[in-house]
Amino acid sequence: MTQNDASQAGPQATYEAFLEQGRFMIQRAKSTGEYVFFPRISTPTGATDLEWVAPAGTGTVYAITVNRSRSGSTNVALIELDEGVRMMSTLPEVETAPIGARVAARIEEAETGNRVVFDLVEGGAA
């Protein structure tokens, strides 16, 4: 018995298609309320009734590093969204930021396509 629904793309392609439309969307299970990131076909508790929702877009810096090279430095951060899930991203406007800093998501056009990046929130607790 096949489990594929040919009318819908898989979670990765769906996420990327939303991004190309300028939308940051994550998954939530209807039955358990669990949020999931990165996008996949089931939750850690086994729920498969995942729907796409727009997150608040705010979160906290969970961990951060700055990759340094002769061509420049860029930070790589793990952001804990207020929905409770974690994602890799970057804060393009600053060299680095303290762990615990409050951040807000925006979509940035990059050479390889749209990506979700974060900016420090004014007055955000660090």
User: Which stretches of the chain bind another protein, using CB under 8 A?
Assistant: 12, 37-39, 62-68, 74, 76, 78, 86-90, 96, 99-100, 110, 112-113, 115
Q: Give the end-to-end CA distance of the chain in Å, rounded to a whole number.
A: 52
> For residues 32 and 65, which CB has a smaller minimum distance to another protein in the complex?
65
> For residues 10 and 30, which CB has a smaller minimum distance to another protein in the complex?
10
Which residue from 43, 49, 42, 54 is spatially nearest to 15, judged by alpha carbons?
54
> For residues 37 and 47, which CB has a smaller minimum distance to another protein in the complex?
37
Contacts of 5 (CB under 8 A, 6+ apart): none
CA distance 110 to 123: 28
> For residues 51 and 70, which CB has a smaller minimum distance to another protein in the complex?
70
- The answer to whether 120 and 94 are in contact (CB under 8 A) is yes
> In sequence order, what DSSP letters do the residues of 43-60 get, joined into one string?
-TT----EEEE----EEE
CB of 88 to another protein, least distance (A): 5
CB of 90 to another protein, least distance (A): 5
CB of 1 to another protein, least distance (A): 28
CB of 51 to another protein, least distance (A): 19
